Amino acid sequence: MMKKIINILAISISLSFSYDKLQDGTVSTNADCAYNSEKNLVVQFTQQYAPAYTELLLSSYSSPNEWSITVGGVATPANFDANDKNDIIAEFESIIHESIHHKNSNIGIYIDSDHYIEYSDAEKNDVHFFFKSELIAVFLPADVKEKMFRFTTYVGKGSGVSANVKGISGLMNEYSAYQNGCNAAIMAYDNALKEKDTTLAVKFFKSALATYFAYYEFNSFIGAYLKYSKSKAPVIYQKIMKQNNLRMAYTLNTLQFEKIIQTINSQSSRLKSNYKLIKSSLEYYKKNNEDYAKSCMDSFQPELTSFKMQL
């Protein structure tokens, strides 16, 4: 899930669609053709600005037109048009994020283009024992619902997303998606700057700013989940600590996320006079989102440190 509340929907093909028979005798709908055309355009864009994610999109592309976007409690169609470059720019980080979910599924966790960690059969089976993440609220500050941006969406009581329903496994899936979406935006920022397109670079950078603090939020959720399980469900805690692939996924995604944040915080000298274009946004997110989430995360350092694998 991204900064918008996005729920992936299955694509339903209406009987009113016309069908085309291909040369090999297979049947294709106009919807298939539109999807493939859209995918190709997004892949071309990705090859230019974040080429490391090209293979991901070729295998696991998630179209914005498959998403249900809720604005003010009302579901609205995405109306994404890949022929409009501005649409791709606006949705680029979200596309990578949601495509990561497609790739992860229940099989494993995507780290980067070189690392995908698959769960063992035993680890997949253990997911059924994990409790809902909403229970961790007792170990978080009383004002977390009001002050932590992503709390209600992901671990709020009654939330139907996998980060809640599938416990720490779902949290890791989401952590991976945020890390990679943010990373893709920073890659695109870097390549746009190399092409001397500062306007586009700033757009990508601001996109990353809107999601980078998910690092602190999800570390808070994961840390609280570990603390809750250790004190109130020790059998489940032992199962979690035996999940070496889950723990490695956390460890590697954390390292990647920390590199992204380091990049975000070190761009003043590179942008020079253009730094003013992003400075106020960075200060806003730091004050209104990062500082609170970071203070929560810091309280779970013992649990997070124990959860990390030694490299």
Strands 67-71 and 74-76, sheet pairing: antiparallel
Residue type, 51: P
Count of Cβ atoms closer than 10 Å to residue 22 Cβ:
9
In this predicted model, what pLDDT tens digit does every residue of 120-161 receive, in sequence order?
999 999 999 999 999 999 999 999 999 999 999 999 999 999
Which regions in the chain score pLDDT beneath 70? 1-29, 69-73
- Is the distance from CB of 59 to CB of 103 less than 8 angstroms? yes
Residue type, 15: L
Question: What pLDDT is attached to residue 86?
Answer: 98
Question: What pLDDT is attached to residue 76?
Answer: 76
In this predicted model, what pLDDT tens digit does every residue of 31-52 receive, in sequence order?
789 899 999 999 999 999 999 9
Complete DSSP assignment for 188-226: HHHHHHHTT-HHHHHHHHHHHHTTTTHHHHHHHHHHHHH
Question: What pLDDT is attached to residue 77?
Answer: 75
CA–CA separation, 247 and 117 (whole Å): 10
Question: What pLDDT is attached to residue 71?
Answer: 58
E strands of the chain, at which residues? 5-8, 19-21, 27-29, 67-71, 74-76, 108-112, 115-118
CA–CA separation, 194 and 198 (whole Å): 9
